[in-house]
Amino acid sequence: FLCMIAAISIDYHILLDFSFPLYGLGLVLLVLVLIFGVERGGATSWFAIGGWQFQPSELAKLATTLFVARYLAEIDRRVLSIQQIAIVAGLVAVPMLLTVVEPDMGGAAMFLPLVGGMLLIAGVKFRYLLIAALLALSLGAVVWSFGMKPYQRERVMTFVQPERDPLGSGYQVRQSKIAVGSGKMFGRGYGQGTQSQLRFLPARHTDFILAVLAEEWGFLGVAVVLSLYVLYIWSGARIAMRARDRAGILVVVGLLSVFCFHVLYNTAMVVGYLPITGIPLPFLSYGGTFTLFNFTATGIILGIDLRRYVNR
């Protein structure tokens, strides 16, 4: 909450002015974590100092959003040129690739909705989107061949054929589906879920927190939580539409795009519609740095709305 209040208090134009140093700091930390970071879940993504841990990819997402928004806001064109799109893609590709090296595929994937949402608002021709889609497919093939570890490929194969390894790589999604289905309409009750309380469900406090919610509170509880997410996104979209300038619109859209992707991917993942990756659920999944990112992003969005009448 302190981070959110601080973000509200600072004029977002000041944040945009310091976006380049913040972007540079994010890149430096992403490089240093590869050397001095600690490994968690197969990825070297965290700094650990005593009992305190910090994930630099979350800072890199926030800094990249501000820096790209600043660059796009200075372009006085309705449609971006190929060169301008390439520059934006390059700005996003650097922290994204550094995150891939960790390897943290879930964290790296979050940069895609960020850049996609901001480019759409800034103005992109349809044929450029088609070219980007083809490049993304090509990049996906390269990542599959050279950028993914065996356990990550196995997760994708298990998603396609869950029955191939029900006690190994397919165990997580199988237990998640059992937890979600057993909740039925009203759930088993708080703290009464067998899959979560007896620890059959892995990562129940992080990636699969929604499965715990479904088991204990049922369809009704999940519907309430998803409705709150819809309200958050709708409110953020309204703030973007009434922002005072192009920079404000772009910042809100970039942050909201990341938020939306987190919600959509995580909810689809826990019911087996998408491969399992380390993509947590905003405001519910346990995680210090991710929670700080969510509250800071919310503060920036509220600060943009607060200043919509300033010097108009």
- What's the pLDDT at 52? 80
Q: Which of 45-54, 153-162, 283-292 has the highest mean pLDDT?
A: 283-292
Predicted confidence (pLDDT) per residue in 173-208, tens digit: 778 888 888 888 988 888 887 777 777 777 778 888
pLDDT band at 31 (very low <50, low <70, confident <90, very high): very high
What share of the chain has pLDDT > 90, as a percent?
44
- Mean pLDDT, to the nearest integer, of 233-259? 94
Over the chain, what is the mean pLDDT? 86
Q: Which amino acid is at 34?
A: L
Of 143-147, 201-205, 286-290, where does mean pLDDT reach its minimum? 143-147
Distance CA 247, CA 249 (A): 5
pLDDT tens, residue by residue, 43-63: 788 888 777 888 899 999 999
Asked whether residue 162 carries a pLDDT value surpassing 60, the answer given is no
- H helical segments located in the chain: 2-9, 12-17, 19-36, 56-73, 82-101, 105-109, 111-122, 126-142, 150-160, 171-182, 194-197, 209-241, 246-270, 288-306
Task: Tell me the backbone φ, ψ of residue 241, rounded to 5 degrees.
Answer: -70, -30
**Section 97-103 average pLDDT:** 87
